[in-house]
């Protein structure tokens, strides 16, 4: 997991507000990871450790949506913002490559891109941005109260950098991708170290057996 930031931390290190929630999750996963039956996933198995998919947001077309809107799909939930200089486009491109590898099964997957910068990421901006990655990508936004609720639910962190003289700013944010099964149950966590083939393989497994 990495972050996007104007004043980037030393390579391999994360800001404490972002590192702490992820460390808590990964520690819990490590305690029971060896006890799970069946062959291991390439991604981190978070079954039973992450809250089910639940939200009330607005999609890129301005329509109110909830987690129930995507119950028929395997959902990949990612928090980012459209002005992100590197991590967001890199992650979304990796997910796009994974879906391409899936072939026809990709139609059963939705990538939900939740903006952590709702002030700049209007519905129109989100729609233009996610369209670069494919038809299975959906941009979502909410107000700060909704974003705060979601960040607490999934233990993600984000922090706004000081704007420059032009008013531009970057946002440090968690970069893990949460993978939910068709019924909204959290199953896997993809990190920046995971590859498109690994993600595609695990998604194929979820789609085949769920």
34 is written with which tokens?
């060896």
14: number of Cβ within 10 Å: 20
**pLDDT tens profile 104-133:** 999 999 999 999 999 999 999 999 999 999
Burial class (CB in 10 A: 0-12, 13-18, 19+), 140: buried
Give the three-state DSSP class for 178.
strand
Q: What residues does 111 pair with on adjacent strands?
A: 76, 137
What is the block-wise mean pLDDT of the chain (210 residues), using blocks of 10 residues?
45 48 50 54 96 97 96 96 96 98 96 97 97 97 94 95 94 96 96 97 91
Closest CA to 5 of 69, 81, 71: 81
- Tell me the domains of the chain and their CATH numbers: 43-161+168-209 (3.40.30.10)
4/119 Cα distance (integer angstroms): 18
**pLDDT tens profile 171-190:** 999 999 999 999 999 999 99
């Amino acid at each position: 997991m990495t972050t996007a930031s104007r004043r980037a931390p030393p390579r391999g290190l994360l800001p404490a507000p972002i590192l702490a929630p992820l460390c808590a999750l990964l520690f819990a996963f490590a305690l029971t990871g060896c006890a799970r039956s069946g062959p291991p996933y390439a991604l981190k198995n978070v079954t039973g450790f992450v809250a089910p998919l639940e939200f009330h947001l607005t999609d890129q077309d301005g329509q109110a949506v909830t987690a129930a809107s995507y119950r028929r799909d395997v959902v990949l939930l990612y928090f980012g913002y459209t002005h992100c200089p590197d991590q967001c486009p890199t992650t979304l491109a990796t997910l796009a490559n994974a879906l391409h590898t899936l072939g026809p099964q990709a139609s059963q997957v939705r990538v939900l891109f939740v903006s952590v910068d709702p002030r700049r990421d209007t519905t129109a901006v989100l729609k233009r941005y996610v369209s670069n990655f494919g038809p299975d990508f959906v941009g979502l936004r909410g107000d700060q109260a909704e974003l705060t609720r979601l960040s607490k639910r999934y233990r993600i962190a984000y922090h706004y950098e000081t704007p420059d003289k032009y008013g531009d700013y970057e946002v440090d944010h968690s970069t893990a991708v949460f993978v939910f099964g068709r019924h909204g149950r959290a199953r896997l966590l993809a990190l920046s170290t995971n590859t498109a083939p690994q993600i595609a393989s695990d998604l194929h497994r979820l789609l085949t057996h769920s």
